[in-house]
Chain A
Protein backbone atom coordinates (compact mmCIF):
# COMPACT_ATOMS: atom_id res chain seq x y z
CA UNK A 1 0.00 0.00 0.00
CA UNK A 2 1.10 3.52 -0.86
CA UNK A 3 2.51 4.87 2.45
CA UNK A 4 -0.47 3.57 4.40
CA UNK A 5 1.49 3.83 7.67
CA UNK A 6 1.87 7.58 7.20
CA UNK A 7 -1.84 7.82 6.57
CA UNK A 8 -2.58 5.99 9.84
CA UNK A 9 -0.23 8.29 11.78
CA UNK A 10 -1.96 11.30 10.23
CA UNK A 11 -5.42 10.08 11.16
CA UNK A 12 -4.23 9.28 14.68
CA UNK A 13 -2.77 12.79 15.11
CA UNK A 14 -5.84 14.47 13.64
CA UNK A 15 -8.21 12.50 15.88
CA UNK A 16 -6.30 12.71 19.13
CA UNK A 17 -5.22 16.34 18.81
CA UNK A 18 -8.84 17.40 18.35
CA UNK A 19 -10.37 18.54 21.67
CA UNK A 20 -13.77 17.05 20.70
CA UNK A 21 -12.28 13.56 20.90
CA UNK A 22 -11.86 13.81 24.65
CA UNK A 23 -15.41 15.01 25.34
CA UNK A 24 -16.51 11.37 25.19
CA UNK A 25 -13.90 10.28 27.75
CA UNK A 26 -14.84 13.13 30.09
CA UNK A 27 -18.59 12.51 29.67
CA UNK A 28 -18.14 8.78 30.25
CA UNK A 29 -16.07 9.39 33.37
CA UNK A 30 -18.64 11.78 34.83
CA UNK A 31 -21.51 9.44 33.96
CA UNK A 32 -19.94 6.29 35.44
CA UNK A 33 -18.61 8.02 38.56
CA UNK A 34 -22.02 9.64 39.11
CA UNK A 35 -23.74 6.25 38.85
CA UNK A 36 -21.21 4.68 41.20
CA UNK A 37 -21.58 7.51 43.71
CA UNK A 38 -25.38 7.26 43.45
CA UNK A 39 -25.35 3.54 44.14
CA UNK A 40 -22.78 3.93 46.90
CA UNK A 41 -24.96 6.54 48.58
CA UNK A 42 -28.50 5.24 47.93
CA UNK A 43 -27.86 1.77 46.58
CA UNK A 44 -29.37 -0.12 49.49
CA UNK A 45 -32.67 1.78 49.22
CA UNK A 46 -32.82 1.23 45.49
CA UNK A 47 -32.02 -2.46 45.86
CA UNK A 48 -34.74 -2.82 48.50
CA UNK A 49 -37.25 -1.37 46.02
CA UNK A 50 -36.14 -3.69 43.24
CA UNK A 51 -36.01 -6.86 45.35
CA UNK A 52 -39.38 -6.38 47.05
CA UNK A 53 -41.13 -8.79 44.71
CA UNK A 54 -38.22 -11.24 44.84
CA UNK A 55 -38.32 -11.38 48.61
CA UNK A 56 -41.89 -12.71 48.46
CA UNK A 57 -40.53 -15.94 46.98
CA UNK A 58 -36.86 -15.97 48.01
CA UNK A 59 -34.87 -15.40 51.12
CA UNK A 60 -32.01 -13.13 50.14
CA UNK A 61 -29.01 -13.15 52.43
CA UNK A 62 -25.94 -10.96 52.06
CA UNK A 63 -25.26 -7.92 49.90
CA UNK A 64 -26.60 -7.89 46.33
CA UNK A 65 -24.92 -4.55 45.69
CA UNK A 66 -21.61 -6.05 44.57
CA UNK A 67 -18.98 -4.61 42.24
CA UNK A 68 -20.06 -7.12 39.60
CA UNK A 69 -23.68 -6.06 39.89
CA UNK A 70 -22.73 -2.37 39.54
CA UNK A 71 -20.63 -3.14 36.47
CA UNK A 72 -23.55 -5.04 34.97
CA UNK A 73 -25.91 -2.12 35.69
CA UNK A 74 -23.52 0.44 34.22
CA UNK A 75 -23.26 -1.57 31.01
CA UNK A 76 -27.08 -1.75 30.87
CA UNK A 77 -27.50 1.97 31.41
CA UNK A 78 -24.94 2.98 28.84
CA UNK A 79 -26.21 0.98 25.89
CA UNK A 80 -27.95 4.09 24.49
CA UNK A 81 -25.29 6.61 25.54
CA UNK A 82 -22.22 4.80 24.23
CA UNK A 83 -23.27 5.01 20.55
CA UNK A 84 -23.64 8.77 20.94
CA UNK A 85 -20.12 9.06 22.34
CA UNK A 86 -18.69 6.81 19.63
CA UNK A 87 -20.49 8.77 16.91
CA UNK A 88 -18.92 12.05 18.04
CA UNK A 89 -15.72 10.91 16.36
CA UNK A 90 -16.76 8.42 13.67
CA UNK A 91 -19.67 10.55 12.47
CA UNK A 92 -17.34 13.51 12.08
CA UNK A 93 -14.31 11.81 10.61
CA UNK A 94 -15.18 12.47 6.94
CA UNK A 95 -18.06 14.94 7.07
CA UNK A 96 -16.14 17.15 9.50
CA UNK A 97 -13.34 17.44 6.96
CA UNK A 98 -15.87 18.06 4.19
CA UNK A 99 -17.37 20.86 6.29
CA UNK A 100 -14.05 22.57 6.99
CA UNK A 101 -12.73 21.97 3.45
CA UNK A 102 -9.65 20.01 4.51
CA UNK A 103 -11.07 16.93 2.75
CA UNK A 104 -10.34 18.68 -0.54
CA UNK A 105 -6.65 18.94 0.33
CA UNK A 106 -6.56 15.42 1.77
CA UNK A 107 -7.79 13.94 -1.51
CA UNK A 108 -5.15 15.74 -3.58
CA UNK A 109 -2.49 13.31 -2.36
CA UNK A 110 -1.19 10.12 -3.95
CA UNK A 111 -3.19 7.87 -1.64
CA UNK A 112 -6.32 6.25 -3.05
CA UNK A 113 -9.67 7.05 -1.52
CA UNK A 114 -9.94 3.41 -0.43
CA UNK A 115 -6.73 3.79 1.59
CA UNK A 116 -7.95 7.03 3.13
CA UNK A 117 -11.33 5.54 4.04
CA UNK A 118 -9.71 2.40 5.47
CA UNK A 119 -7.24 4.43 7.57
CA UNK A 120 -10.08 6.54 8.94
CA UNK A 121 -12.10 3.42 9.75
CA UNK A 122 -9.18 1.81 11.59
CA UNK A 123 -8.65 4.93 13.70
CA UNK A 124 -12.38 5.20 14.42
CA UNK A 125 -12.41 1.56 15.57
CA UNK A 126 -9.30 2.21 17.66
CA UNK A 127 -11.02 5.17 19.30
CA UNK A 128 -14.08 3.00 19.98
CA UNK A 129 -11.84 0.35 21.54
CA UNK A 130 -10.13 2.94 23.74
CA UNK A 131 -13.49 4.28 24.87
CA UNK A 132 -14.64 0.78 25.71
CA UNK A 133 -11.42 0.01 27.60
CA UNK A 134 -11.90 3.24 29.55
CA UNK A 135 -15.49 2.19 30.32
CA UNK A 136 -14.13 -1.18 31.45
CA UNK A 137 -11.58 0.43 33.75
CA UNK A 138 -14.19 2.77 35.24
CA UNK A 139 -16.98 0.23 35.55
CA UNK A 140 -15.05 -2.88 36.53
CA UNK A 141 -11.86 -1.70 38.24
CA UNK A 142 -13.17 1.39 40.03
CA UNK A 143 -16.27 -0.51 41.19
CA UNK A 144 -14.03 -3.11 42.81
CA UNK A 145 -12.56 -0.38 45.02
CA UNK A 146 -15.93 1.04 46.00
CA UNK A 147 -18.19 -2.00 46.29
CA UNK A 148 -17.59 -5.44 47.80
CA UNK A 149 -16.83 -8.38 45.55
CA UNK A 150 -19.60 -10.94 45.24
CA UNK A 151 -21.96 -12.91 43.03
CA UNK A 152 -23.92 -11.18 40.31
CA UNK A 153 -27.68 -11.59 40.54
CA UNK A 154 -29.37 -10.47 37.34
CA UNK A 155 -33.06 -10.54 36.46
CA UNK A 156 -34.18 -11.86 33.07
CA UNK A 157 -37.64 -12.33 31.57
CA UNK A 158 -37.57 -16.00 32.53
CA UNK A 159 -36.30 -15.47 36.06
CA UNK A 160 -33.24 -14.60 38.10
CA UNK A 161 -29.78 -15.85 37.15
CA UNK A 162 -26.81 -15.93 39.45
CA UNK A 163 -23.25 -15.71 38.22
CA UNK A 164 -20.58 -16.68 40.70
CA UNK A 165 -18.09 -13.95 41.53
CA UNK A 166 -15.21 -16.11 40.29
CA UNK A 167 -16.79 -16.35 36.82
CA UNK A 168 -17.71 -12.69 36.51
CA UNK A 169 -14.36 -11.29 35.31
CA UNK A 170 -14.15 -13.67 32.38
CA UNK A 171 -17.80 -13.09 31.48
CA UNK A 172 -17.28 -9.34 31.58
CA UNK A 173 -14.28 -9.73 29.31
CA UNK A 174 -16.46 -11.63 26.85
CA UNK A 175 -19.20 -9.02 27.29
CA UNK A 176 -16.77 -6.22 26.45
CA UNK A 177 -15.71 -8.19 23.37
CA UNK A 178 -19.31 -8.37 22.18
CA UNK A 179 -19.81 -4.71 23.12
CA UNK A 180 -16.83 -3.86 20.91
CA UNK A 181 -18.51 -5.63 18.02
CA UNK A 182 -21.74 -3.75 18.75
CA UNK A 183 -20.01 -0.38 18.96
CA UNK A 184 -17.92 -1.28 15.91
CA UNK A 185 -21.22 -1.64 14.09
CA UNK A 186 -22.24 1.84 15.26
CA UNK A 187 -18.80 3.18 14.28
CA UNK A 188 -19.12 1.73 10.76
CA UNK A 189 -22.71 2.99 10.47
CA UNK A 190 -21.74 6.51 11.58
CA UNK A 191 -18.74 6.55 9.27
CA UNK A 192 -20.85 5.42 6.33
CA UNK A 193 -23.23 8.32 7.01
CA UNK A 194 -20.22 10.59 7.40
CA UNK A 195 -19.17 9.70 3.85
CA UNK A 196 -22.57 10.83 2.58
CA UNK A 197 -22.90 13.99 4.67
CA UNK A 198 -21.30 17.42 4.25
CA UNK A 199 -21.61 18.33 7.95
CA UNK A 200 -20.89 16.47 11.18
CA UNK A 201 -24.25 16.98 12.84
CA UNK A 202 -26.35 14.93 10.39
CA UNK A 203 -24.56 11.57 10.93
CA UNK A 204 -24.76 12.00 14.72
CA UNK A 205 -28.49 12.80 14.58
CA UNK A 206 -29.26 9.94 12.19
CA UNK A 207 -27.31 7.38 14.25
CA UNK A 208 -28.92 8.46 17.49
CA UNK A 209 -32.41 8.56 15.96
CA UNK A 210 -31.94 5.06 14.55
CA UNK A 211 -30.63 3.68 17.85
CA UNK A 212 -33.46 5.30 19.83
CA UNK A 213 -36.21 4.19 17.40
CA UNK A 214 -34.89 0.61 17.19
CA UNK A 215 -34.39 0.43 20.96
CA UNK A 216 -37.90 1.71 21.69
CA UNK A 217 -39.50 -0.68 19.18
CA UNK A 218 -37.38 -3.53 20.57
CA UNK A 219 -38.20 -2.74 24.20
CA UNK A 220 -41.98 -2.88 23.88
CA UNK A 221 -43.16 -6.43 23.54
CA UNK A 222 -45.73 -5.54 20.89
CA UNK A 223 -46.58 -8.49 18.61
CA UNK A 224 -47.02 -6.22 15.60
CA UNK A 225 -43.30 -5.31 15.70
CA UNK A 226 -42.09 -8.79 16.64
CA UNK A 227 -41.16 -9.70 13.04
CA UNK A 228 -38.92 -6.60 12.85
CA UNK A 229 -36.71 -7.47 15.80
CA UNK A 230 -34.25 -9.81 14.07
CA UNK A 231 -33.63 -7.11 11.43
CA UNK A 232 -32.86 -4.33 13.90
CA UNK A 233 -29.21 -4.25 14.84
CA UNK A 234 -30.03 -2.98 18.34
CA UNK A 235 -31.61 -6.37 19.05
CA UNK A 236 -28.20 -7.99 18.55
CA UNK A 237 -26.21 -5.25 20.28
CA UNK A 238 -27.59 -6.25 23.69
CA UNK A 239 -26.79 -9.92 23.28
CA UNK A 240 -23.89 -9.58 25.75
CA UNK A 241 -26.50 -9.80 28.51
CA UNK A 242 -27.18 -13.41 27.52
CA UNK A 243 -23.68 -14.29 28.78
CA UNK A 244 -25.07 -13.95 32.29
CA UNK A 245 -27.91 -16.40 31.67
CA UNK A 246 -27.70 -19.99 32.84
CA UNK A 247 -27.17 -21.94 30.63
CA UNK A 248 -25.59 -19.52 28.21
CA UNK A 249 -27.49 -19.53 24.87
CA UNK A 250 -24.28 -19.87 22.84
CA UNK A 251 -25.92 -20.34 19.42
CA UNK A 252 -28.01 -17.18 19.85
CA UNK A 253 -24.94 -15.20 20.88
CA UNK A 254 -22.92 -16.50 17.94
CA UNK A 255 -25.77 -15.72 15.52
CA UNK A 256 -26.06 -12.19 16.86
CA UNK A 257 -22.30 -11.69 16.61
CA UNK A 258 -22.37 -12.85 13.00
CA UNK A 259 -25.29 -10.51 12.24
CA UNK A 260 -23.35 -7.60 13.77
CA UNK A 261 -20.22 -8.55 11.84
CA UNK A 262 -22.26 -8.69 8.62
CA UNK A 263 -23.63 -5.22 9.41
CA UNK A 264 -20.09 -3.90 9.86
CA UNK A 265 -19.05 -5.27 6.47
CA UNK A 266 -22.22 -3.93 4.85
CA UNK A 267 -21.90 -0.42 6.30
CA UNK A 268 -18.16 -0.31 5.56
CA UNK A 269 -18.72 -1.40 1.95
CA UNK A 270 -21.54 1.06 1.26
CA UNK A 271 -19.54 3.91 2.79
CA UNK A 272 -16.40 2.98 0.86
CA UNK A 273 -18.29 2.62 -2.43
CA UNK A 274 -19.90 6.02 -2.03
CA UNK A 275 -16.67 7.70 -0.90
CA UNK A 276 -14.87 6.39 -3.98
CA UNK A 277 -17.57 7.71 -6.31
CA UNK A 278 -18.20 10.95 -4.45
CA UNK A 279 -17.71 14.25 -6.25
CA UNK A 280 -15.83 16.58 -3.94
CA UNK A 281 -17.65 19.87 -4.22
CA UNK A 282 -16.90 21.16 -0.70
Chain B
Protein backbone atom coordinates (compact mmCIF):
# COMPACT_ATOMS: atom_id res chain seq x y z
CA UNK B 1 0.00 0.00 0.00
CA UNK B 2 1.23 3.47 -0.86
CA UNK B 3 1.78 5.91 1.99
CA UNK B 4 -0.37 9.01 1.54
CA UNK B 5 0.46 10.89 4.73
CA UNK B 6 3.92 10.81 6.22
CA UNK B 7 5.29 12.84 9.10
CA UNK B 8 9.01 12.60 9.77
CA UNK B 9 10.43 13.91 13.03
CA UNK B 10 7.85 16.68 13.13
CA UNK B 11 7.85 19.06 16.08
CA UNK B 12 5.76 22.08 16.89
CA UNK B 13 6.72 24.45 19.64
CA UNK B 14 4.49 27.27 20.90
CA UNK B 15 6.68 29.55 23.01
CA UNK B 16 8.10 27.22 25.65
CA UNK B 17 5.46 24.51 25.15
CA UNK B 18 6.25 21.60 22.86
CA UNK B 19 2.89 20.45 21.52
CA UNK B 20 4.29 17.91 19.05
CA UNK B 21 7.64 16.33 19.80
CA UNK B 22 9.62 14.60 17.08
CA UNK B 23 6.50 12.84 15.82
CA UNK B 24 6.58 10.16 13.15
CA UNK B 25 3.50 8.68 11.57
CA UNK B 26 2.37 7.07 8.37
CA UNK B 27 -1.05 6.64 6.83
CA UNK B 28 -1.53 4.07 4.09
CA UNK B 29 -3.77 4.59 1.10
CA UNK B 30 -7.30 3.18 1.26
CA UNK B 31 -7.30 2.59 5.02
CA UNK B 32 -9.41 3.99 7.82
CA UNK B 33 -7.16 5.16 10.63
CA UNK B 34 -8.30 5.97 14.14
CA UNK B 35 -6.25 8.86 15.46
CA UNK B 36 -6.28 8.66 19.23
CA UNK B 37 -4.81 10.43 22.18
CA UNK B 38 -5.94 11.96 25.45
CA UNK B 39 -6.82 15.66 25.71
CA UNK B 40 -3.75 17.82 25.16
CA UNK B 41 -1.78 14.99 23.58
CA UNK B 42 -1.17 16.99 20.39
CA UNK B 43 -3.88 15.45 18.16
CA UNK B 44 -5.37 18.73 16.96
CA UNK B 45 -1.93 20.29 16.51
CA UNK B 46 -0.87 17.29 14.42
CA UNK B 47 -3.98 17.53 12.24
CA UNK B 48 -3.41 21.27 11.77
CA UNK B 49 0.18 20.55 10.76
CA UNK B 50 -1.00 18.00 8.21
CA UNK B 51 -3.46 20.56 6.83
CA UNK B 52 -0.91 23.37 6.63
CA UNK B 53 -2.71 25.54 9.18
CA UNK B 54 0.40 25.41 11.36
CA UNK B 55 4.00 25.48 10.21
CA UNK B 56 6.19 22.80 11.80
CA UNK B 57 9.07 23.99 13.95
CA UNK B 58 11.06 21.00 12.67
CA UNK B 59 10.59 17.96 10.47
CA UNK B 60 8.95 17.19 7.16
CA UNK B 61 5.39 16.44 6.11
CA UNK B 62 4.67 14.62 2.87
CA UNK B 63 1.17 14.17 1.46
CA UNK B 64 0.86 11.80 -1.49
CA UNK B 65 4.67 11.82 -1.74
CA UNK B 66 4.74 15.60 -2.10
CA UNK B 67 6.33 17.94 0.38
CA UNK B 68 3.44 19.82 1.98
CA UNK B 69 5.00 23.25 2.33
CA UNK B 70 6.30 23.43 -1.24
CA UNK B 71 3.24 21.82 -2.90
CA UNK B 72 0.45 23.00 -0.64
CA UNK B 73 -1.94 24.17 -3.39
CA UNK B 74 -1.76 20.85 -5.23
CA UNK B 75 -1.96 18.79 -2.06
CA UNK B 76 -5.04 20.58 -0.74
CA UNK B 77 -7.03 19.52 -3.83
CA UNK B 78 -6.74 15.95 -2.50
CA UNK B 79 -7.75 16.60 1.10
CA UNK B 80 -11.19 17.17 2.56
CA UNK B 81 -11.64 17.67 6.25
CA UNK B 82 -13.62 18.68 9.27
CA UNK B 83 -11.23 20.23 11.73
CA UNK B 84 -12.40 20.99 15.26
CA UNK B 85 -16.01 22.19 15.00
CA UNK B 86 -17.44 23.06 11.61
CA UNK B 87 -17.57 26.84 11.28
CA UNK B 88 -19.23 28.51 8.33
CA UNK B 89 -20.52 31.87 7.17
CA UNK B 90 -23.52 31.88 9.46
CA UNK B 91 -25.30 34.70 7.63
CA UNK B 92 -25.34 32.68 4.37
CA UNK B 93 -27.40 29.61 3.61
CA UNK B 94 -25.89 26.15 3.31
CA UNK B 95 -25.91 26.21 -0.48
CA UNK B 96 -24.08 29.57 -0.62
CA UNK B 97 -21.49 28.19 1.79
CA UNK B 98 -20.94 25.13 -0.38
CA UNK B 99 -20.72 27.31 -3.50
CA UNK B 100 -18.00 29.40 -1.84
CA UNK B 101 -15.88 26.31 -1.20
CA UNK B 102 -16.66 24.88 -4.63
CA UNK B 103 -15.44 28.10 -6.28
CA UNK B 104 -12.20 27.95 -4.31
CA UNK B 105 -11.50 24.48 -5.64
CA UNK B 106 -12.18 25.72 -9.15
CA UNK B 107 -14.75 23.01 -9.78
CA UNK B 108 -18.09 23.46 -11.47
CA UNK B 109 -20.57 21.64 -9.28
CA UNK B 110 -23.89 20.96 -10.99
CA UNK B 111 -27.28 21.12 -9.26
CA UNK B 112 -27.38 17.35 -9.51
CA UNK B 113 -24.01 17.06 -7.71
CA UNK B 114 -25.19 19.37 -4.94
CA UNK B 115 -28.41 17.39 -4.60
CA UNK B 116 -26.48 14.11 -4.33
CA UNK B 117 -24.09 15.56 -1.81
CA UNK B 118 -26.85 17.05 0.32
CA UNK B 119 -28.77 13.79 0.22
CA UNK B 120 -25.64 11.89 1.24
CA UNK B 121 -25.20 14.02 4.37
CA UNK B 122 -28.93 14.30 5.12
CA UNK B 123 -29.38 18.01 4.48
CA UNK B 124 -31.42 17.88 1.28
CA UNK B 125 -34.37 20.25 1.60
CA UNK B 126 -32.63 22.42 4.20
CA UNK B 127 -29.96 23.87 1.89
CA UNK B 128 -31.71 27.25 1.59
CA UNK B 129 -31.83 27.74 5.36
CA UNK B 130 -29.45 30.26 6.89
CA UNK B 131 -26.65 28.36 8.65
CA UNK B 132 -27.19 30.46 11.79
CA UNK B 133 -30.45 28.52 12.30
CA UNK B 134 -28.72 25.11 12.08
CA UNK B 135 -28.20 22.86 15.09
CA UNK B 136 -24.68 21.65 15.84
CA UNK B 137 -25.51 18.29 14.31
CA UNK B 138 -26.67 19.94 11.09
CA UNK B 139 -23.47 21.97 10.98
CA UNK B 140 -21.51 18.72 11.33
CA UNK B 141 -23.42 17.35 8.33
CA UNK B 142 -22.66 20.51 6.37
CA UNK B 143 -19.05 20.13 7.48
CA UNK B 144 -19.00 16.67 5.97
CA UNK B 145 -20.58 18.01 2.77
CA UNK B 146 -17.85 20.66 2.34
CA UNK B 147 -15.22 18.02 3.05
CA UNK B 148 -16.57 15.78 0.26
CA UNK B 149 -17.42 18.58 -2.17
CA UNK B 150 -14.28 18.33 -4.30
CA UNK B 151 -14.13 14.53 -4.20
CA UNK B 152 -10.87 14.31 -2.22
CA UNK B 153 -8.94 11.06 -1.90
CA UNK B 154 -7.94 11.75 1.72
CA UNK B 155 -10.54 12.69 4.31
CA UNK B 156 -9.55 13.97 7.73
CA UNK B 157 -12.32 14.03 10.31
CA UNK B 158 -11.71 15.54 13.72
CA UNK B 159 -14.36 14.47 16.22
CA UNK B 160 -17.07 14.20 13.53
CA UNK B 161 -19.59 12.62 15.93
CA UNK B 162 -19.78 15.66 18.17
CA UNK B 163 -23.35 16.95 18.35
CA UNK B 164 -24.84 14.17 16.25
CA UNK B 165 -27.87 12.26 17.49
CA UNK B 166 -27.72 8.41 17.58
CA UNK B 167 -29.27 8.21 14.11
CA UNK B 168 -26.72 10.73 12.84
CA UNK B 169 -23.86 8.73 14.35
CA UNK B 170 -25.05 5.57 12.61
CA UNK B 171 -25.47 7.41 9.30
CA UNK B 172 -22.02 8.98 9.62
CA UNK B 173 -20.49 5.58 10.33
CA UNK B 174 -22.19 4.15 7.24
CA UNK B 175 -21.05 7.12 5.16
CA UNK B 176 -17.44 6.71 6.31
CA UNK B 177 -17.49 2.98 5.58
CA UNK B 178 -19.06 3.64 2.17
CA UNK B 179 -16.44 6.26 1.32
CA UNK B 180 -13.70 3.84 2.25
CA UNK B 181 -15.06 0.58 0.89
CA UNK B 182 -16.89 1.78 -2.23
CA UNK B 183 -14.87 4.84 -3.19
CA UNK B 184 -11.46 3.80 -1.85
CA UNK B 185 -10.87 6.93 0.14
CA UNK B 186 -8.27 7.12 2.89
CA UNK B 187 -9.75 8.31 6.16
CA UNK B 188 -7.99 9.66 9.21
CA UNK B 189 -10.53 9.80 12.00
CA UNK B 190 -9.87 11.46 15.31
CA UNK B 191 -12.34 10.66 18.04
CA UNK B 192 -12.68 10.20 21.78
CA UNK B 193 -15.33 7.54 21.28
CA UNK B 194 -13.09 4.49 21.26
CA UNK B 195 -15.77 1.91 20.50
CA UNK B 196 -16.69 3.98 17.44
CA UNK B 197 -13.08 3.85 16.27
CA UNK B 198 -12.96 0.12 16.99
CA UNK B 199 -16.04 -0.42 14.84
CA UNK B 200 -14.87 1.63 11.88
CA UNK B 201 -11.08 1.68 11.77
CA UNK B 202 -8.73 -1.14 10.94
CA UNK B 203 -5.61 0.82 11.85
CA UNK B 204 -4.80 3.33 14.50
CA UNK B 205 -2.27 5.88 15.60
CA UNK B 206 -2.05 6.63 19.28
CA UNK B 207 -0.20 9.72 20.41
CA UNK B 208 0.63 10.97 23.86
CA UNK B 209 2.60 14.04 24.93
CA UNK B 210 3.15 14.88 21.27
CA UNK B 211 4.77 11.55 20.40
CA UNK B 212 3.49 8.46 18.61
CA UNK B 213 3.28 5.65 21.15
CA UNK B 214 1.50 3.02 19.04
CA UNK B 215 0.77 2.67 15.34
CA UNK B 216 -0.49 -0.15 13.16
CA UNK B 217 -3.40 -2.53 12.62
CA UNK B 218 -5.73 -2.49 15.60
CA UNK B 219 -6.10 -6.28 15.59
CA UNK B 220 -2.32 -6.80 15.55
CA UNK B 221 -1.77 -4.31 18.34
CA UNK B 222 -4.52 -5.71 20.53
CA UNK B 223 -3.66 -9.37 19.93
CA UNK B 224 -0.38 -8.80 21.72
CA UNK B 225 -2.31 -7.64 24.74
CA UNK B 226 -4.19 -9.54 27.39
CA UNK B 227 -7.87 -8.81 27.29
CA UNK B 228 -10.58 -8.62 29.90
CA UNK B 229 -13.35 -11.18 29.44
CA UNK B 230 -16.53 -11.43 31.49
CA UNK B 231 -17.96 -14.94 31.89
CA UNK B 232 -21.61 -15.04 33.00
CA UNK B 233 -22.04 -18.46 34.64
CA UNK B 234 -24.39 -20.51 36.74
CA UNK B 235 -23.64 -21.18 40.41
CA UNK B 236 -20.80 -18.71 40.95
CA UNK B 237 -19.80 -20.07 44.38
CA UNK B 238 -19.32 -23.59 43.07
CA UNK B 239 -17.37 -22.27 40.12
CA UNK B 240 -15.05 -20.25 42.36
CA UNK B 241 -14.40 -23.32 44.52
CA UNK B 242 -13.33 -25.26 41.47
CA UNK B 243 -11.35 -22.36 40.00
CA UNK B 244 -9.22 -22.18 43.17
CA UNK B 245 -7.73 -25.51 42.15
CA UNK B 246 -6.88 -24.29 38.62
CA UNK B 247 -4.37 -22.00 36.90
CA UNK B 248 -7.21 -19.61 36.00
CA UNK B 249 -7.83 -18.46 39.56
CA UNK B 250 -4.88 -16.05 39.59
CA UNK B 251 -6.20 -14.43 36.40
CA UNK B 252 -9.50 -13.36 37.95
CA UNK B 253 -9.72 -9.56 38.07
CA UNK B 254 -13.29 -9.02 39.28
CA UNK B 255 -16.26 -10.92 40.67
CA UNK B 256 -19.59 -9.17 40.65
CA UNK B 257 -22.51 -9.75 42.99
CA UNK B 258 -24.52 -11.57 40.35
CA UNK B 259 -23.03 -14.30 38.16
CA UNK B 260 -20.11 -12.64 36.39
CA UNK B 261 -16.42 -13.43 36.81
CA UNK B 262 -13.89 -11.30 34.93
CA UNK B 263 -10.54 -12.70 33.72
CA UNK B 264 -7.48 -10.93 32.36
CA UNK B 265 -6.30 -13.44 29.77
CA UNK B 266 -4.80 -13.54 26.31
CA UNK B 267 -6.97 -13.75 23.23
CA UNK B 268 -5.94 -17.41 22.72
CA UNK B 269 -6.93 -18.34 26.28
CA UNK B 270 -10.64 -17.59 25.71
CA UNK B 271 -11.54 -20.96 24.05
CA UNK B 272 -9.43 -22.89 26.59
CA UNK B 273 -11.14 -21.27 29.55
CA UNK B 274 -14.52 -21.88 27.91
CA UNK B 275 -13.63 -25.56 27.49
CA UNK B 276 -12.55 -25.70 31.15
CA UNK B 277 -15.95 -24.39 32.32
CA UNK B 278 -17.73 -26.90 30.07
CA UNK B 279 -15.55 -29.74 31.35
CA UNK B 280 -16.43 -28.76 34.93
CA UNK B 281 -20.13 -28.78 33.97
CA UNK B 282 -20.53 -25.08 34.73
CA UNK B 283 -23.15 -23.50 32.47
CA UNK B 284 -22.03 -20.41 30.55
CA UNK B 285 -24.74 -17.89 29.65
CA UNK B 286 -22.59 -15.20 28.11
CA UNK B 287 -18.98 -14.39 27.25
CA UNK B 288 -18.25 -10.68 26.75
CA UNK B 289 -14.94 -9.14 25.86
CA UNK B 290 -14.39 -5.79 27.54
CA UNK B 291 -13.65 -2.88 25.22
CA UNK B 292 -10.10 -3.88 24.52
CA UNK B 293 -9.11 -0.68 22.71
CA UNK B 294 -10.28 1.29 25.70
CA UNK B 295 -8.09 -0.76 28.05
CA UNK B 296 -5.19 -0.53 25.63
CA UNK B 297 -5.62 3.23 25.36
CA UNK B 298 -5.74 3.69 29.13
CA UNK B 299 -2.74 1.45 29.66
CA UNK B 300 -0.50 3.25 27.14
CA UNK B 301 -1.52 6.73 28.14
CA UNK B 302 -1.37 5.98 31.88
CA UNK B 303 -4.72 7.67 32.43
Q: Give me the interface of A with B, judged by CB distance under 8 Å.
A: 2-3, 6-7, 9-10, 13-14, 17-19, 100-102, 104-112, 277, 279-281
Contact = CB atoms under 8 A, between A and B. Distances in A.
Which of A14, A102, A108 gathers most chain B CB within 10 Å?
A108
28 contacts: A2-B106, A6-B103, A6-B104, A7-B103, A7-B104, A10-B103, A13-B92, A14-B100, A17-B96, A101-B85, A102-B89, A105-B86, A105-B101, A105-B146, A106-B104, A107-B53, A108-B51, A108-B53, A108-B79, A110-B72, A110-B74, A110-B76, A110-B106, A112-B73, A277-B55, A279-B14, A280-B53, A281-B48
Contact of B81 (A3, A17, A108): A108
Nearest to A277: B55
B149 to A, nearest CB: 10
Contacts, number: 81
A100 B48 contact: no
Contacts of A102: 87-89
B61 to A, nearest CB: 15
6 nearest A-B residue pairs (beta carbon): A101-B87, A6-B103, A109-B104, A3-B106, A280-B53, A110-B73
B158 to A, nearest CB: 11
Given A14-B89, A280-B53, A108 B83 contact: yes
Contacts of B103: 3, 6-7, 9-10
Chain B binding site: helix, strand, loop or mixed by DSSP? Answer: loop
Nearest to B54: A279
Contacts of A104: 53, 83-84, 87
B162 interface: no
Contacts of A10: 100, 103-104
A17 to B, nearest CB: 6
Interface string B124-152: 00000000000000000000001000000
B77 interface: yes
Contacts of B104: 3, 6-7, 10, 106, 109-111
